[in-house]
């Protein structure tokens, strides 16, 4: 199955006015550009006007017109939809505002992006009625925005998943952690999927349930001991040869 790509860009221009004193009135406007493909073919432009946190009129490029959500908003939308100059600028904003700035923003982020280091591990083994738990951690990535999710037999898992927010390490890099609680089944395939601006495509990390965490640790320790033993043996052999070459044999 094809996995969704994650790219996002939000350009927010705020024009605000504050009236009154206690419990004052607040009016503001925002421009949002939202897309999920590299060629910006699904770019959506939203031009929203709000009063005290409630949107009362909004232009949506997928509709190609302003829509009112209050009595005042409906009248405003009707007036603006009949204004050729306003509609011309609104329809052109997908290219002049959104795509133009998205290209600049993407090129800047991609140039400075750092790929995440991903670790998939078992946190808890299944025991009786208690489910098992896997942990998928992504470290040292930039920029902050990332998507981490689980797949089970090719389908996205939407339940029994808990994830942290992106957390700053304090050195411009970020980390995130996601846990999956599950009951193991024979022959199933569980994967952690990571999407990030530094990646050209989603990275899939498959969990291998055939080996327990303790077994993995034993193998790692054993392999380390074997390598260390080979190094010590080689060093001893080299030392012995050098000592042998320096001795002179005297006949009896």
Mean pLDDT, the chain, as a whole number? 80
User: Which residue, among 162, 119, 167, 123, has the nearest Cα to 146 in the 3D structure?
Assistant: 167
Residues 60 and 134 in one domain: no
pLDDT value at residue 4: 36
Question: Is residue 248 domain-resident?
Answer: no
Q: Is residue 91 part of a domain?
A: yes
Residue 187 resides in a domain = yes
Is 250 inside any structural domain? no
Smallest CA-to-CA distance from 161 within 175, 142, 148 is with 148
- Looking at the chain, the whole-number percentage of residues with pLDDT higher than 90 is 44
Q: Do 125 and 91 fall within a single domain?
A: no
Report how far residue 211's alpha carbon sits from residue 56's, in angstroms, rounded to the nearest whole number.
Answer: 58
- Kindly give the pairing relationship between strand 25-34 and strand 203-206: unpaired
Proportion of the chain above pLDDT 70, given as a percent: 73
Give 3-41 pLDDT, tens digit per residue. Answer: 333 344 444 444 444 444 445 678 888 888 888 777 888
Q: pTM of this prediction?
A: 0.49
Please identify, among 111, 131, 154, the residue that sits at the C-terminal boundary of a domain. Answer: 111
Q: Which domain holds residue 21?
A: 17-111
Instruction: Please name the helix (run of DSSP H) or strand (run of DSSP E) that holds residue 232, with its range, or none.
Output: helix 213-246
> Minimum mean pLDDT among 47-56, 64-73, 98-107: which range?
98-107
- Asked if residue 126 belongs to a domain, the reply is yes
What's 137's domain CATH number?
2.60.40.10
User: Do residues 33 and 63 share a domain?
Assistant: yes
> Does residue 121 lie within any of the structural domains?
yes
- Within a domain: residue 236? no
* Model pLDDT, residue 9: 47
The predicted model gives 132-158 an average pLDDT of 93
Mean pLDDT over residues 203-232, rounded? 65
**Structural domain total, the chain:** 2
Q: What pLDDT is recorded for position 173?
A: 92
Lowest mean pLDDT among 166-175, 181-190, 220-229: 220-229
Q: The CATH number of the domain where 66 resides is what?
A: 3.10.320.10
Boundary of a domain, candidates 111, 137, 172: 111
């Amino acid at each position: 199955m094809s996995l969704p790509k994650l790219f996002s860009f939000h350009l927010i221009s705020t024009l605000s006015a504050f009236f009154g004193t206690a419990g004052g009135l607040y009016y503001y406007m925002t421009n949002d550009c939202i897309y999920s493909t590299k060629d910006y073919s699904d770019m959506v432009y939203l031009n929203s006007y709000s009063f005290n946190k409630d949107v009362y009129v909004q232009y949506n490029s997928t509709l190609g017109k302003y829509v009112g959500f209050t009595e005042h908003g409906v009248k405003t939308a009707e007036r603006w939809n009949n204004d050729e100059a306003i509609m011309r600028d609104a329809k052109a904003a997908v290219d002049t505002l959104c795509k133009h700035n998205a290209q600049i923003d993407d090129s800047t982020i991609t140039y400075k992006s750092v790929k995440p280091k991903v670790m998939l591990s078992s946190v808890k083994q299944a025991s009786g009625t208690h489910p098992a738990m896997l942990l998928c951690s992504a470290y040292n990535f930039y920029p902050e925005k990332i998507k981490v999710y689980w797949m089970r037999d090719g389908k996205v898992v939407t339940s029994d998943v808990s994830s942290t927010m992106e957390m700053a390490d304090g050195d411009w890099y970020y980390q995130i952690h996601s846990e999956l609680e599950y009951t193991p089944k024979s022959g199933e395939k569980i994967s952690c999927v990571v999407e990030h601006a530094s990646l050209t495509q989603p990275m899939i990390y498959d969990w291998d349930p055939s080996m327990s965490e303790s077994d993995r640790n034993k193998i790692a320790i054993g392999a380390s001991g074997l390598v260390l033993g080979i190094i010590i043996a080689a060093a001893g052999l080299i030392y012995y040869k050098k000592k042998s070459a320096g001795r002179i044999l005297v006949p009896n």
